[in-house]
Structure 1
Amino acid sequence: MNKVPKVAAPSVRHIRRWPASLAVVAVLVLQLIVPTEIAALPRWIMPALGTALLLPLVWTNPFKLQRDEPWLRWVELVLLAVLVLVNALYLTGLIFYLGSGEANDGMILVKAALLIWVTNVVAFAVWYWEVDRGGPFARAPEHEREVERADLLFPQMTVDLPGWERWLPGFTDYLFVAFTAATAFSPTDTMPLTARVKALMTIQSAISLLTIAVVAARAVNVL
């Protein structure tokens, strides 16, 4: 009697922290090159705060999410809120700089608008990654923890396709959501489900719209 060969189950995708940490480092580096014309705070404040946050995060979970530290997650969310606030202050300073009549250097305007826009995308990508279904640790399948309801509905969650049965969103997926929200000013293929993510996406789209419509348009005219 022939034995039926066993079909191996799809491997579980482990959620890793280092892509999000790397994105935060990139944003903090951008804070060091913010043009002085729009700098609302000393340039060292945000990199110092980010470094203070990244050190314990990297120490507890350098590559894989093995230790749950809820207080660190809340600290990261607070830092993200501060980062978004500072970025909004930079945008406000840039708008006032445009209205002062001294904005005659198109390269400064383009550089400032690009830094604000990139910071906006990365900051909200990390925010979506941290809040969706209770955070990356709660989403990790190897941890016996009750997962909260989904905040974002990804296309892979709505179809039954071979090879996608145990799919989990990674940081790149949340980065794509933030990028599309910043370019289309609305959800595209991934739908926000909860009020908190809808509020976050509204704020992100508003910052992006102001940056592109007001600042970038003026910069092109100057150039």
Structure 2
Amino acid sequence: MPKKSRDETDVDAQQDKLIKRHARGEHRWPAAAGVLVVLASYAFLPTVIMPVAVRTVVVVLGLVMLIPVIALNPVRLVKQTSWSRTLSVGLALLLAIANVAALVFVVIVLITTGAKDGPSMLLAATQVWLTNMIAFALVYWELDRGGPVTRHTSDRSELPLADFRFAQDEDHDAIDEVKGRSSAAIGWTPSFTDYLYESAIGSMAFSPGAAMPLSPRVKLLLLVQSLGAFIMLALVIAHAVGQLGA
């Protein structure tokens, strides 16, 4: 077998180093803070939008699911069990489903009663829009490449298929100041902030942000999120115009 050149050996060593990375776990609190903001938003939704019983169930169930996963990883996300993974994904889906339910309640109230309390309806719509952005960010964060624990602590060769393609995933052949932030150069992995940005763009521009969706499930989730945000915006504008003409 012919000997490898020095350059080929260096490349192989670099690839081994990148594949066998051991990144520090992601910080717990940005995502946990997002969950708490969403739960607080549900707790203070006007009763005319979502009944007290429904809001109470969502908030209590959300806290019950959040506490154990925080206890398992209080600072950084480095450990995962089957039950913690189930709770984490279930919590994100619970918040997203509750948001869709809140949107339905808002639509029903505006269409059937033509609520005259403009400030309250505007506040409720803002709360639903905010929870839409954060809840779907949590869903994307939990699903992409196996979730935050797997994404940050497993070798890249062991990661599940990606749901999003970020610019850093393909910047390894760019100019130095760009290449220096690439996944290949520093083992970069998306964190909650990256998914929050993508979700915010989806809620405001009704289109993907810097990352492109790859999997059918994420494309459908983006469609649901953008459709909900669009409906909310259209209803709020229509309601505001109606109030001006009243």
TM-score bracket for this pair, using the shorter chain length: 0.7 to 0.9
Aligned to 1:4: none
- Which amino acid is 2:33 matched to? L
Total equivalences in the alignment: 215
Which one is further off, 133-142 or 202-211?
133-142
- Would you say 1:162 and 2:180 are equivalent positions? yes
1:185 to partner: Cα distance: 0.8
1:149 to partner: Cα distance: 1.2
Higher helix share: 2
1:86 to partner: Cα distance: 2.2
Aligned to 1:184: 205
Cα deviations across residues 88-113 of structure 1 (Å, max 9, x unaligned)?
22222211211234411111111111
CA distance in 2, matches of 1:121, 1:142: 28
Identity of matched residues, %: 36
CA distance in 2, matches of 1:74, 1:215: 36
1:219 to partner: Cα distance: 3.2
2:117 to 67, 80, 105: 105
Partner SS state of residue 67, structure 1: coil
1:206 to 227, 230, 234: 227
The unaligned stretches of length 5 or more in structure 1 are 1-8
CA distance 1:41–1:86, change in 2 (3 Å) = farther
2:41 to 9, 30, 33: 30
CA distance 1:152–1:163, change in 2 (3 Å) = closer
- Bigger relative contact order (CA 8 A; separation at least 6): 1
Partner SS state of residue 153, structure 2: coil
**Alignment check: 8 A CA contact 2:38 2:131 kept:** yes
Partner SS state of residue 84, structure 1: helix
CA RMSD of aligned residues (A): 2.3
Aligned to 2:60: 48
1:141 to 153, 172, 175: 153
Which one is further off, 165-174 or 62-71?
62-71
CA distance in 2, matches of 1:151, 1:59: 28
TM-score (norm 1): 0.87
CA distance 1:91–1:216, change in 2 (3 Å) = farther
1:168 to partner: Cα distance: 1.3
Which one is further off, 102-111 or 143-152?
143-152
- Which amino acid is 1:81 matched to? L
CA distance in 2, matches of 1:41, 1:75: 24
CA distance in 1, matches of 2:126, 2:168: 31
The unaligned stretches of length 5 or more in structure 2 are 1-17, 173-178
- Which amino acid is 2:218 matched to? V
- Would you say 1:60 and 2:81 are equivalent positions? no
1:30 to partner: Cα distance: 0.8
1:145 to partner: Cα distance: 8.1
